[in-house]
Each structure stands twice: as structure tokens, then as C-alpha cells.
Chain A
Amino acid sequence: MTERYLILSDGTTYKGQAFGSPATTSGNIVFNTSVTGYQEIITDPIYHNQIIVFSTPTIGAVGVNHESYEAILPTAKGVVVREVAEVSTNRQRTLSLDQFLRFNNIPGISGIDTRQLVRKLRTHVGPLNASIVDVADEHAFDQLNATVLTNQQVAQVATPRPYANPGMGHNIVVIDFGLKSGILRELAVRGANVTVMPYLTSADAILNLDPDGIVLSSGPGDPRNLPVSVLTMIKTLETRIPMLGIGLGHELFALANDATIERLPVAHQGMNHPIREIITNRIMYAAQAEEFGVDRDSIDRNQLLITHIDLIDRSIQGLRHRDYPAFSVQFFPDAAPGPWEATQVFDDFIELTGTRGEQR
């Protein structure tokens, strides 16, 4: 196997074996602790421009299948594993992980001591960049240090044009900030008639579609880098139409209601955090991909209720507006990948749109 190198902008070099595409790439390096769901993770637009380190020892044992794509094309920049499974078997398998990465021009590197690497990433303050390269020389580090990654990730992955995902049920508008397919799948299961709108749409244009409900989708990057017009739009819409925010959508919902966002000391990337639904004291698990969170002290309790918290670091996982039928969750309730127990968030949302629809 061809030797390749993973180099970090702090000067560290890791030697490993190549798999996937032979391309040289640079990106922001993050780790994910999920044991399953690597295909959904690699294809989720939230990992745009990121090199993903999987802490699970072996990745790729079930290959890649048609049902688990979270975007048409993955935009992750690399995959780092300790071991990639040589043989992949699964009833639904259509490609091996190696083939899939090759087709999508994403390099992978195996044979890395991911335990050590994860420990380093955990303790590192702020984002860290990395490259997967053929030769780890001075030139490669110069290239890496000269790399400037965009802070406008949403603009790179979100749809520039509206499109429909027709159904026979409630009329739902999804505002795309880098939508993962799981959100559309869960709405489709509930029969919703979905229109996906670009994030730079005006509130009026959305109201003209006469929606029963609005979903602010998940997406990549720092919500504070989005134009202020997005917050104005959310503020107008939340008073008129039932609203659900997910991931980045949750952070934007918080910003629109005067809370502030901060970078988490340790990002949540995985599905092992217990989340408490405060109102019922129920504990659930869901997939998380969070680098930012809502600052608890900044929440105006006269506007927002805290509905969910993470039991590991007490971070805010859910909010709800006191005066309007609008709520949001930081975690991913669409179970793609992840446990199914949080999908009731979509049931709650559809019920909310249903009851309000009759009153309107």
C-alpha cells in the first residue's frame, strides 16, 4: 500500500497508508466518535471542508449503500481511520468505502493512531487545519499554512434555487443552510409537501408560499458569519408560522432571539451524549455535530425556554419561544445516522403545524 502523510498545522506529522482518492487536500480537522453511520457522516454537508477522523477502530465494514446519502455529493475533504475494512458486506452495499471515496475525489488515510490524534484534537483550543499529502516536507507545511479556508461554508453547500419535494400533507418550507437529506426523509415519511428555499430568500417570498410550517435546516460553519438579513427573516417568520430549527438552524433561531453563540471548548461529534428533555425528564440519545453552542447566560428567559440540555457538558440542546409556536434542537433528530428515539421532534413539529393550521 502506498504510504501517505497526515500533517497538522501545529507541525505534527502522522504516517499512514493511502486509500480512497490519491488527491492532496487540506481542511479543518475534526473527530467523530460514532461507531456506525460513517457514510451519512462523510456525506453530511455539515462536514464541508473538513477532514474527519473516526475514533472507531475499524471503518468501512458495511460499504456504502444507496439509502444513506445525506447529500448528492459529499464535500468533506478527507477521512482518517485506524483501519479500513478490506472486505465490506451488507445486503444493501453497492460500493466499498474505498471505491466511494475514489469516485468522489476524497482521500483517505489509514493506519493512524486515532486515539492519540483524538486526544490531541480534544485538548487543542480552536480549529486546527490538516492536509493529507504524499510527502511531509517543508513545502507541504508551507502549503498547509498558506491555505485559507472559506468562512462562508453555507454559501458553498446550500441550494441557490428553490425545489420541491412533493407530498400530500402539510405545506412545509425548508430553508436550506446546508440541508442533510435526513430532514427531507423524515418530513416525507410524515407526508409533508416540502418546498426547499435558498437561505437568502426574503420573509415575504416565504409567506407567499402559504406554509403551514417552516424548518430552518442544519448546515456547516459559524452562524455568526451569515448575513444579518437571515436573522431578520427568522424574526419575521417565527411570529407568523410554526417553526422548527435544527443544528445551524437552532443556532440562528437563538441568534434571532437575542442569544449569543460561542465555540464549544470540546466539539460534540458523535452520538454518545445523553440529552435530557427537561419537561418530561426523559433521556435520549441523538447524533450531534456541534462546534458551536448557545451561550446559556445570554438567553433571555422572557423570550426563550430551555427545553433540552446535554448531560455531559450542560450545553443547550433545545430552545422554544415563549410566545410563538417555534422551537429548535441543536442535535440531529433525523436519525441519519443515529438512534431513532429523537425522531418524535418531527412528530411534534407536524402536530404543531396541524393544530395551528386549523385556527388560522
Chain B
Amino acid sequence: MAKEVVDAMAMQRALTRITYEIIERNRGISNLVLIGVKTRGVFLAHRIATRLHQLEDTVVPVGELDVSEYRDDVSVNIPVSKDAISNLTAPITDKKVVLVDDVLYTGRTIRAAMDAIMDLGRPNSINLAVLVDRGHRELPIRADFVGKNIPTAQNEHIRVSVEEVDQRDSVEIVTADEATK
């Protein structure tokens, strides 16, 4: 049985809070670059960028990162390449990068993402914003901005739906069977 733990309204509020926290932590947004991890992290990164634009009237560049080929737990180790990051017009050297993903789990995606970013340049800092932190880390990685902490069992899955691809906003806890459907 899928159990909704974050509804559309709560997701909006979480992204709003994360946006304010990003401004707070980085003392302004002039040097900021957002990088969304495909697929849903990209949409979340765009939503944060929209909020920053509303507040500060500044356009923050949003990059899109595809790490699926570079995950060490998915396939044999393929060297991470900077080609994994697309749509990014600005250089990232000396920028404050905020990596945006939907779910933080083992931390392996984020490690791969950091490799890809480092390959592209040398940012001033990398922060991590996630909508959901579900625990069970396998690497020493933690998020700087968390929408919601949802403690889960290993055999549970978190399903994040976003309006842009799933026609609705929600976060659900689902069983392993449901997750593969």
C-alpha cells in the first residue's frame, strides 16, 4: 500500500523553506549555480531557481546532471565524465554549487554527481539539497538542506512524484513490489 507522506502543499512549502535556507547559508545568491540530478532533481532545481528569481530578480543558472551511467552500484565503474552535466552555460569554477536531488539514500548518486562536478571545474563549495532524506547511507555524505526526513526500512521505497512528469506532486512510501511496477 502506497502511503502519502508529503502532499503537494507540503512539498511546495519544503521547497520554499529550502530556498530561504540557501539564501541564508550562501549570504545572497550572486555566485550560485544549481545542478539538478536527473530526472526529478532537475525539476526541483528549476522550481528553486524560479523562487530565487521571484525573490531576488536574479536568474540563477540551472545545470542538469545525468549520473545513471556512473553509479558504482549499478554497473561496472565507468569513469565519470563532465559530459554528464548538460544545459549549464556558466562555468562552475569558484561558484557555490547547490546539488539538488529528490531522495538521499545510500549517497552513491551524490558521490558520482560530485565526481562529475569536479571534473568540470573547481567550485568554491558544493552544498546538497534534497527533498527527502530516507536514511541508510553507505557513504559519509549528508544533506545541507532537507525538505523532510523520512525514516524508512530497507525494503521500503520512496516514490517522489512531480507535476512536470507525474502530473502531481507527492512523496509516498511504497513496498518493493509496487516500486517496480
Q: Please report A residues at the B interface, Cβ cutoff 8 Å.
A: 278-281, 305, 307, 320-325, 327, 344, 347-348, 351-352, 355
Contacts and interface: CB of A to CB of B under 8 A. Distances in A.
Contacts of B56: 305
A351 B55 contact: no
B17 A281 contact: no
6 tightest Cβ-Cβ pairs between the two chains A and B: A279-B51, A279-B54, A279-B55, A279-B16, A278-B54, A278-B55
A305 B23 CA distance: 10
Given A278-B54, A279-B51, A307-B55, 16 more contacts: A279-B19, A279-B54, A280-B12, A280-B16, A280-B51, A305-B55, A322-B23, A323-B24, A323-B27, A325-B24, A344-B13, A348-B13, A348-B17, A351-B13, A355-B17, A355-B146
Contacts of A281: 54
A189 to B, nearest CB: 16
Contacts of B79: none
Contacts of B12: 280
A336 to B, nearest CB: 21
B162 to A, nearest CB: 15
Interface in B1-31: 9, 12-13, 16-17, 19-21, 23-24, 27-28
B28 A322 contact: yes
Nearest to B52: A279
Nearest to B53: A279
Contacts of B9: 344
Contacts of A278: 54-55
Contacts of A322: 23-24, 27-28
Contacts of A347: 13
B17 A351 contact: yes
Chain B interface size, under 10 / 10 to 19 / 20 to 34 / 35 or more: 10 to 19
B101 to A, nearest CB: 18
A355 to B, nearest CB: 7
A324 B54 CA distance: 20
Contacts of A320: 20
B24 A324 contact: yes
Interface of B: 9, 12-13, 16-17, 19-21, 23-24, 27-28, 51, 54-56, 146
Nearest to A281: B54
B64 to A, nearest CB: 23
Given A322-B23, A324-B24, A348-B13, A280 B54 contact: yes
Contacts of B19: 279
A99 B179 CA distance: 62
A351 B20 CA distance: 13
16 contacts: A279-B16, A279-B19, A279-B54, A280-B51, A280-B54, A281-B54, A305-B56, A320-B20, A322-B23, A322-B24, A325-B24, A344-B13, A348-B16, A348-B17, A352-B17, A355-B17
Contacts of B13: 344, 347-348, 351
B67 to A, nearest CB: 27
A348 B9 CA distance: 12
A281 B54 CA distance: 8
A228 B155 CA distance: 58
A279 B47 CA distance: 10
A348 B28 CA distance: 21
A320 B55 CA distance: 11
A15 B56 CA distance: 54
Nearest to B25: A323
Contacts of A351: 13, 17
A348 B12 CA distance: 11
A7 to B, nearest CB: 49
Contacts of B21: 325
A278 B16 CA distance: 11
A347 B16 CA distance: 12
A41 B72 CA distance: 63
Nearest to B28: A322
Nearest to B55: A279
A164 to B, nearest CB: 28
Interface centre among A280, A323, A327 (most CB of B within 10 A): A280
Contacts of B28: 322
Q: Which of B12, B17, B21, B146 has the most CB of A within 10 A?
A: B17
A134 B100 CA distance: 69
A249 to B, nearest CB: 19
Contacts of A327: 20
A281 B24 CA distance: 20
Contacts of A325: 21, 24
A281 B28 CA distance: 20
Contacts of A352: 17
Nearest to A344: B13
Nearest to A279: B51
A352 B51 CA distance: 18
Contacts of B17: 348, 351-352, 355
Contacts of B23: 305, 322
A323 B28 CA distance: 9
A66 B146 CA distance: 41
